Amino acid sequence: MRPAALRQTSAILYESGFFFMAYSMTGYGRGEATYTTRRYLVEIKSVNNRFCDISVRMPRGYAVLETKIRERITDRLLRGKIDVFVTIEDVGDGNSTVEMNIGLAKAYSDAIAKIASETGRPDAADALQIARFPDVLVARANSLTPEEAGQELLPVLEAAIDDILRMREVEGNKLVDDLLTKVSVFESLHAAVKLRAPQVPKEYKERLMARIEELLDDKANLVYDEARREAEVAVFADKCAIDEELTRLSSHMNQLRETLSAKGSIGKRLDFILQEMNREVNTIGSKANDISITNYVLDMKTELEKIREQIQNLA
């Protein structure tokens, strides 16, 4: 199928709701909600990664929910380098307290008094100045219980995951569309090799007979009879036979297309299929003993590399 036809088919499938469900690993999602005086904001960013590598940044008082956050991210986003940013703002009256470190304040006061005494200067430090020193006054938000925090934060997380999945799906469908175009190019090369392969032994036989006649002239049939020529051609044909490799390669191409239309995490399976296809192409190149097939093999390896680079973006 030509690239233009592939794009048209993909558009029809998308509009009718029967489109591929591949997901890119690159995306951004955002969820936000307000409960009474508390505002929750969850942002998720993801890029390519072989595994599910999650980093969570959130207020210390809600760290008890980090395990649940990681579980939900792993279950739904599957793979990628994923950064989760949680912001919680509470602007209500009575939702914060200020703690005093009196011992530290006295230590600061004694140190200032000693400096004044040793240097002959007046001790002019008042309570406000001492309170400004680090850790003398510490403001803390009144934390919710883990159950209350979970009831408020986790739905916002789910909304952010839904948002990033929508973006990853759109990007994934674009990747699949591009991959199908590349697969079609590879299939055309495969068809060309399959068409060329039977001609290789025939041309070898013609070259062999021409060479014998050139060297032996009218004695060719006496020195190099028909049976001997046929035996040598048969040995050559057996050495350069690539029927099995072409059949396996055809099977791998079918698996590649089936996997591209599957749901869920398909990146690792695609990577494995590409390895098998590359192995068959290398074998064809080493056995073919034909310049035309060798050129096709070089083009096939180029297309496989393009496909491999693209599937690294799929979850």
Q: Which sign, positive or negative, has the C-alpha torsion 181, 182, 183, 187?
A: positive
Q: Which sign, positive or negative, has the C-alpha torsion 301, 49, 154, 44?
A: negative
The two three-digit tokens of residue 192, written as one number: 């060309």
With a CB cutoff of 8 Å and minimum separation 6, the contacts of 9 are 1
Q: Band of the pLDDT at 18, cuts 50, 70, 90?
A: very low
Instruction: Render pLDDT for 26-52 as a digit per residue (tens, 0 to 9).
Output: 999 999 999 888 889 999 999 999 889
* Total Cβ atoms within 10 A of residue 178: 18
What is the model's pTM?
0.66
The two three-digit tokens of residue 57, written as one number: 């940044």
CATH topology of domain 22-91+146-165: Ribosomal Protein S5; domain 2 (3.30.230)
In this model, does residue 53 exceed pLDDT 50? yes
Instruction: Render pLDDT for 58-105 as a digit per residue (tens, 0 to 9).
Output: 987 788 899 999 999 999 998 899 999 999 887 666 566 788 999 998
